[in-house]
Amino acid sequence: MNTFKYILIASCIAVPLSMSSCKKFLDKPLENQQRSEEIDYSNTALMYGPVSGVYRSAADDNLVHWIDLSIRCMRDDDYLQAAPNPNDNPELMAIKNFQNDVTVQSYWGLNQSWISYYSLVIAVNNALIELDNFAAKIPASNTKDLILNKQYKAEVRFLRAYAHLMASRLFGNVPILIDSENIGRLATIEKSTAAEVRQFIMAEMNECIEDLEDARPNQSIHIGAVTKYTALLLKAKAAADLAGNDNGSPHWEEVLDATNKIIASNKFSLYPNYYELFKIPGKLANESLFELQYSDFGLSTGDIVRPGVDWGTFFKWQGPSGDQKGSPISGAGWVPPSQDIVDFLTNRGDNERLKTTILYCGINGNPATSATTPSGDVVYGNPFGVKYFNGKAYLPKAQMTAGRMEYGANNNVRILRYADVLLLNAEAKVRKGQNGDEPFRLVRERAKLGAISNVTLNQILDERRAEFACEWWGERFNDLVRTGKAKDVFGAKFIPGMSESLPIPQTQIDANPNFR
C-alpha cells in the first residue's frame, strides 16, 4: 500500500513539472486570424490584393453612406429636403439653412461623413505600406512589376486624393492625412486650408498621371479601375476649385490642359442614351471615368455586393416612399428632388434630362394616384406630399436580376463622367477668352438639345446644373460657391466666408484639440 502512496506523491510532483515543460502549451496564435507578416510579398500575383481591398472600402460605405449622402445633397438647391418628413433629423434642415452652431456641430451625421472619408484615407495609407512591402521584394531587373507596383500605388493615391476633396468640400479646412501609422499623430495633426488641400490633390495627381494606365477605365486590365484620365479630371476639378471665379487665375490653364489631354486621347465618348446611362446598360460606359462597381453576380438570391447596409443602400435610401404595394421600386424616400430643379429643367425644355432625373409618383404625390415610369413601372404616391424622387437612382424592374427585390441592386454608382470633362473644358476655354462651343455642343447634343454658338459662362453653369442635376456629389453647391453665385441663389441665409463649410464634428475636436 505504501508503494502506491509513493507513486502518488511522485506523480503529484511530476505532473506540474511535465506541464511546465510543455512551453508550447501557452504558445498558441489566435485562431483564424492571419498575421500580415505571413503574406508572401515576393509573390507579385498577390500585389493587386491591397488595391482591390481599397476599392471595396470605397464601395462598401465610405463614399456612399446614406447619411453622408443626405448631408452632401442638402446644400444643393436641386433637393427639396432630407427625410420624407422634413422634421426628421432636424439638423439636416439646419444644414440646408446654413446653420452653423453647436446643434449642428454635435450632429452624429457629420461625424459619420468625416469618418467615412478619412476611413478611406487610412485604408489607402495602409495599402501603400503593403505595396511598399511588395516593392521591396521585386528585383530591380523586374521592371514590369516595378511599374505595376507604381501604377497600383497611383490607383489608391487617387482614391485618397478624392476622399480629401470630398472632405474639404464639406468641412473646408481639413487635415491632409498621408501617414496614419502612428496613432499619436492622428490625435495631434493640424488642419490645412482648403486651398492647401487642393494643391495637395493636384501635386498627387501630377505624380499619379505618370504612373497610371493609359486607358479608359473599362479598358483597364482590372475593368473599371481608375486610369490616367481619371487622375487628370480630378486634377482639373481641384484646379477649378482653386481658380474660383477669377478668370485670370493661372489654374484655368491647368484645367484646360488636363481636360484637353483627356479629350485628345480620343478614348472617351458620351453614352448616346442619357436615360439609360444611369441604368444597367450604362454601367461602365465609355463615358465613365470613375464608378463604384457592384454586383449580384446574376444570382436570384444570396451573395450580393451592395452600396452600404442592406436597409439603407445608396439606392434604397432614395427609392420611392409611400405604399408601393409590394413593388421593388420602393425605398426610404430620402433626398427627394426640389420643385426648383423640376421647374429649371422644364423651363429650358430639357425633356431628356427631366425624364432621366425625375421619377414621378402620381399626381403631386397623392397616395391615391400613381404614375408610370418611361420603363413601364408603376410608382404610387405617398402620404408625405413628396412629388418627385430621384430618377437617376431608379433601376427599372425589368432590368433587375430575376428574383431580386432590392431597389437598385446590381447597379453601379456613377461618380466622374466625361460630360464633366467637356463642360470644364468649355468653361476653361471661355474663361480664357477662347471659344468653348465644341465640347459644349457634344454635351447638349446627347441631351437632344440644339447647339449654341459663342457660349457664355452662365450658359455653361446652367448646363452643368442640368447635366449633373441631382447627382450626389455636391457638384451644384460647389459650382455656386466657386463661381460666387451662392448668395444670389440662397439669399440672406448664405453668409459668404461662413456658410461654405460645415463645422468639424465636436467628437473629432474632442479627440484632437488641434481641429479647434
Partner 1 sequence: MASVALLSCLTNPVSAQNRTITGKVTNELGIPLVASITVSGDSKIGTSSNENGDFTISIPQNSSYLMVSSLGYETKTVAITGNSVNIQLKANADFNLDEVVVVGYGTQRKGDLTAPISTVNMQDMAKRTVSNPMDALQGAVTGVQIVSSGAPGSTPSVRVRGVGSFNNESPLYVVDGMFMDNIDFLNPNDIADISILKDASGAAIYGVRAANGVILVTTKKGSLNMKSRVTYNGFAGFQTPTNMLKMANAQQYAHYATATGNGAFVKNSVEKFGGTETNPAMDTDWFNELLRSKALITNHNVDVMGGSEKISYAFGLNYVKQEGIMDAKNNNQKFNMRMQADAKVTDWLKVGFMAHLNNFKSYHPDNAAFRQAYFASPLYPVYDPSLELAKPEKFGSSTAIGMQSGFWYNNPVATAFYRNNQTRGFQILPSFYVEAELWKDKITFKSQLSQRYQSTHNIGYNPIYYIDNDQRNDRSFLRSAQARNNNYILDNLLTYKDGAGKHHWTVLLGQSSREERWRETWVQANDVPESEEFWYVGVGAQGIGSATGYGERGSRNAGISYFTRGTYDYDNKYLLTATFRADGSSKYQTKWGYFPSVGLGWVLTKEKFMENQTLFNQLKIRGSWGKLGNDGIQPNAGYATVYSGNNFSGIFGSEGTTNGTRIPGYRVGRFFSQVRWEVVEEWDGGLDFALLNNRLSGTVDYYHRTTHDLAFSRPIPFSWDRVYGNWGSVANSGWEVGLQWKDKIGALGYAIAGNVTTLKNTVKNLGGLENIMNGYPEWSAEFPARIQINEPINYYYGYEVAGVYQNQAQIDADPIASAYNKQNPNSPIVPGYFQYKDQNNNGELDENDRINLGNYLPKITYGFNLAFDYKKFDMSIAFQGVSGNKIHNLNRAMRRKYNQMNVDAAFVENLWTGEGTSNTHPSAAGSVASWNLQASSFFVESGAYLRVQNIQLGYNFDFPKLPTRIFVTADRPFIFTKYNGFTPEVSEMGFDANVYPIASTYSLGVKVSF
Tell me which residues in 323-352 interact with partner 1 (CB under 8 A): 323-326, 330-333
> Which residue reads 441604368 in cell numbers?
279
The residue from 293, 318, 390, 478 that contacts partner 1 (CB under 8 A) is: 293
Contact status: 111 vs partner 1 (CB under 8 A): yes
Nearest-CA neighbor of 389 among 348, 344, 334? 334
The residue from 241, 296, 377, 467 that contacts partner 1 (CB under 8 A) is: 296
> Which residue reads 453576380 in cell numbers?
297
The residue from 157, 191, 283, 476 that contacts partner 1 (CB under 8 A) is: 283
The residue from 77, 145, 150, 186 that contacts partner 1 (CB under 8 A) is: 186
Smallest separation (angstroms) from partner 1 to the CB of 215 = 14
Three cell numbers, residue 471: 447627382
> Which residue reads 448616346 in cell numbers?
272
Q: Binders of partner 1: how many residues, by CB under 8 A? A: 122
Strands 370-372 and 378-380: antiparallel
Interactions with partner 1, residue window 79-98 (CB under 8 A) = 83-85, 87-91, 94, 97
358 has which bridge partners? 390
Give the containing element (helix H, strand E) for 470.
none
By rule CB under 8 A, what string of x and - marks binding of each residue 18-37 to partner 1?
Answer: -xx----xxxxxxxxxxxxx
90, 335, 456 from 331: Cα distances, Å: 20, 11, 40
Of 258-266, 289-297, 420-428, 438-446: span binding partner 1 (CB under 8 A): 289-297
Sign of CA dihedral 209, 213, 215, 219: negative
Three cell numbers, residue 241: 476649385
The residue from 42, 43, 103, 372 that contacts partner 1 (CB under 8 A) is: 103
In the chain, the amino acid numbered 196 is E
Nearer to partner 1, 39 or 452 (CB): 39
Contact status: 173 vs partner 1 (CB under 8 A): no
Contact status: 260 vs partner 1 (CB under 8 A): no
The residue from 74, 165, 209, 225 that contacts partner 1 (CB under 8 A) is: 225
Smallest separation (angstroms) from partner 1 to the CB of 339 = 19
Q: Give the ranges where 265-319 is alpha helix by DSSP (H).
A: 274-277
Contact status: 491 vs partner 1 (CB under 8 A): no
Contact status: 126 vs partner 1 (CB under 8 A): yes
Contact status: 178 vs partner 1 (CB under 8 A): no
Smallest separation (angstroms) from partner 1 to the CB of 516 = 9
Q: Euclidean distance between the first and final Cα of the chain, in Å? A: 81
Nearer to partner 1, 167 or 455 (CB): 167
Nearest-CA neighbor of 473 among 296, 335, 329? 335
Say how far apart CA 359 and CA 344 lie, in whole Å.
Answer: 15
Contact status: 192 vs partner 1 (CB under 8 A): no
187, 329, 388 from 373: Cα distances, Å: 51, 10, 12
Say how far apart CA 153 and CA 208 lie, in whole Å.
Answer: 8
Nearer to partner 1, 224 or 474 (CB): 224
Nearer to partner 1, 259 or 373 (CB): 373
Say how far apart CA 438 and CA 107 lie, in whole Å.
Answer: 45
Of 38-46, 138-146, 419-427, 463-471: span binding partner 1 (CB under 8 A): 38-46
The residue from 81, 227, 313, 321 that contacts partner 1 (CB under 8 A) is: 321
Number of neighbours of residue 170 by Cβ within 10 angstroms = 23
Of 254-262, 429-437, 476-484, 507-515: span binding partner 1 (CB under 8 A): 507-515
The residue from 81, 170, 224, 414 that contacts partner 1 (CB under 8 A) is: 224
By rule CB under 8 A, what string of x and - marks binding of each residue 367-406 to partner 1?
Answer: ----------------xx--------------------x-
Smallest separation (angstroms) from partner 1 to the CB of 284 = 4
Contact status: 102 vs partner 1 (CB under 8 A): yes
Smallest separation (angstroms) from partner 1 to the CB of 513 = 8
Smallest separation (angstroms) from partner 1 to the CB of 363 = 17
The residue from 229, 294, 344, 440 that contacts partner 1 (CB under 8 A) is: 294
Nearer to partner 1, 305 or 378 (CB): 305
Smallest separation (angstroms) from partner 1 to the CB of 397 = 13
Helix (H, G, I), strand (E, B) or coil at 413: strand
By rule CB under 8 A, what string of x and - marks binding of each residue 51-80 to partner 1?
Answer: xxxxxxx-x---------------------
In the chain, the amino acid numbered 332 is A
The residue from 200, 204, 278, 322 that contacts partner 1 (CB under 8 A) is: 322
Contact (Cβ atoms closer than 8 angstroms) between residue 68 and residue 113: yes
Nearer to partner 1, 162 or 252 (CB): 162
Contact (Cβ atoms closer than 8 angstroms) between residue 78 and residue 469: yes
94, 101, 145, 284, 458 from 479: Cα distances, Å: 21, 24, 41, 25, 11
Contact (Cβ atoms closer than 8 angstroms) between residue 418 and residue 439: no
Q: Give the ranges where 90-226 is alpha helix by DSSP (H).
A: 90-96, 102-105, 108-137, 143-171, 183-186, 194-211
Contact (Cβ atoms closer than 8 angstroms) between residue 233 and residue 416: yes
Of 127-135, 144-152, 231-239, 341-349: span binding partner 1 (CB under 8 A): 127-135
Sign of CA dihedral 207, 213, 214, 220: negative
Nearer to partner 1, 27 or 248 (CB): 27
Smallest separation (angstroms) from partner 1 to the CB of 43 = 12
371 has which bridge partners? 379
> Which residue reads 481641384 in cell numbers?
238
